[in-house]
Structure 1
């Protein structure tokens, strides 16, 4: 009797530990997330399944309250509210699809995995266990996704101990042979440490400093130089002219984050600039819900907020390369990277502006996530972050 009473507490405690460890920002620990479906399947009721899902997700996304507080320069309450709201889709999906029928559980969990990978539920589909495919099945590409999915389904069946042993064996082998994603010789991703001033301080001197960084990378034989999200501030004809003139005589093309003002809000974009001119290269498919993407404004007849293009421009062409750009939030969810991989790009380009995450593991989690995807599909990786 005591054992039965303690079981739910143990399961919830293990789910919290699973989310905390797997999503600590250490790429080789991502497979720890595979314990979640086992715990979910062991729930004795729908209520316990909901608590297990909540414990896992809240632990995995634990940096959100502090990050939101830093972003808005406020206390923790707005961050806590967003943290709880973001967990709703994950908890609801895994609660509704939980069943005590052991035969139906594999199918139900498969549906949960799919729902959490694509919109609308996938908009907050962080901490998806399928991300671990990049560690377990490096270089397998879509076959790795298929085998990982089969493994996840196997973990909610009665033979889960055998499946778990097989996956742990693969994990240990992968950890022993792990190598970081490859880099391209003539591509450079520049990390900056300009804090909240990046994108907000847009005076002439700041642009000159950034241009000089690009020119310095070009003198080191770089052909393409990436700078972080929002580095340019607002993309205007004046900014374009200044950069084109600043890069005159430089062989490199700069790929820089910026904001483009539109009629009812703005687009979060990457622009490509060289001495021949500048253009918008990529429009972010999924901005950060809440702080950037605010669809309720349109419902209330208001303007403002970032536009979500969802399934637009999964790849862009630059020079002779097909590039899969991922801006900040897109690195935490599943469908943007998988949509891009459907087009077989040559490079993954990951940029972000993570100054507001100081003291949290959010940027480390982003880096672990896109490193795992790059290794899964054997794609070179170019990274540029501001902290």
Structure 2
């Protein structure tokens, strides 16, 4: 009889675990669909993690959540390298290891505030380097949808909500968070760009940044001038738009903007013998120079720290906690280039410096057939709404 009871209990636990894993994948896939208003579903992840009855189920719940949120990565990697899905699948699973390891190590079977604080620690670790380097799909991002305009108080409320979801009071916490979600959805408005500053989306595919011809530069200049004619004197172009930043490119742009009050902000690459920086360049008739150096380039494809350890050069540099806010033309902006829109600490780092607006750029040609760019936009919109700031975006597809 005792053996049958243990067998029955084991079967029940297995079924319970399978349900939790399936729910984690479903919740994550919907939450990270690219629509900002679905992000609050990610707040259910802590409850699913806490309801696990064993460490291995907690690990699988964490893996299901992360892998579902980052499901576009295999196809994106295949697009970027022109390969099959094999390397992308390997990178997809490798990227999940930090998230899974942190949440598995800190899980405990004992209920109560001890477990709640452990989840809080896991959330904090996944928000900052080194674990936060791949801290995608952080559920705290939903605070911007639940508490728009609340700023740091909204961030704290979101953190409290996440922690409460790991306690026995999680149903009450879910109802409360759902109420804030409904209130927010009823009055939801997307953030608008500030007056006089406009981003331009391009559809130039993988040629953007790789075509360094005079014809391409003139095409971009014409785009900036057309946009400026509509009354926006500061025009933002996507990541990598200028290609390699050289004295010749600078001279061409400054001459073209001569006699105007137009300022262009555009992505470019600055190289030296040790590697390169992914940057935003500010250009006007009077001057031109580096406005911002990317704090967190995309790991593997751009940021390759192992090259330095082996004495090799190359790869993009990561300026982890540099230039969180930059000033130009009377504006103080928080710049976010591509990958930085998927992780937490760059935006919060910038918010500590009181920016007037957020400027988000990207070069997403390699994301064709995926929801990666939509997820980037949803994440940026959520953070922008949390702090009540205008938003300027410029993407290439």
Q: Counterpart in 2 of 1:34? A: 43
Gaps of 5+ in 2: 1-7
Tell which deviates more after alignment, 126-135 or 242-251: 242-251
User: Which residue in the other structure is 1:259 paired with?
Assistant: 269
CA distance in 2, matches of 1:58, 1:4: 23
Per the alignment, residue 343 of structure 1 pairs with 353
Q: Is residue 2:126 matched to residue 1:126?
A: no
1:308 matched residue in structure 2: 318
2:88 maps to which of 79, 84, 88:
79
Once the two structures are superposed, residues 310-356 of structure 1 have per-residue CA deviations (whole angstroms, 9 ceiling, x without a partner) of 00000000111111000000000000000000001001000000000
Aligned positions of 1:1-387 closer than 5 A: 1=8, 2-103=11-112, 104-387=114-397
Deviations 1:16-57 (A, max 9, x none): 101111101011000010111000000111100000000000
State the shift of 1:182 in Å. 2.4
CA distance, structure 2, for counterparts of residue 164 and residue 326 of structure 1: 31
The alpha-carbon deviation at position 3 of structure 1 amounts to 3.2
Judge conservation of contact 1:139–1:378 (CA < 8 Å) in 2. Answer: yes
Gaps of 5+ in 1: none
Alpha-carbon distance between aligned partners in 2 of 1:116 and 1:213, rounded to the nearest angstrom: 39
In the comparison of the two structures, how many residue pairs are matched? 387
For 1:212 and 1:5, how far apart are their aligned partners in 2?
Answer: 62
Kindly state the Cα deviation for residue 250 of structure 1 after the two structures are TM-superposed.
2.2
SS of aligned partner of 2:22: helix
Separation of aligned partners in 1, 2:359 and 2:85:
32
Deviation at 1:131, TM superposition (A): 0.2
- Residue 219 of structure 1, CA deviation: 1.2
Displacement of 1:263: 2.8
Deviations 1:207-247 (A, max 9, x none): 00000111111111111100000000000001101111111
2:304, 2:192 → 1: CA distance? 36
The answer as to whether partners of 1:191 and 1:386 remain within 8 angstroms in 2 is yes
Q: Secondary structure at the match of 1:178?
A: coil
The two structures have a TM-score, normalised by structure 2, of 0.97
1:218 and 1:251 in contact (8 A); partners too: no
Matches of 1:280 and 1:5, distance apart in 2: 56
User: Is the 2:239–2:338 Cα contact (8 Å) retained in structure 1?
Assistant: yes
Higher gyration radius (CA): 2
Over the aligned positions, Cα root-mean-square deviation in angstroms equals 0.7
Partners in 2 of 1:231 and 1:320 — Cα distance? 24
TM-score between the two structures when normalised by the length of structure 1: 0.99
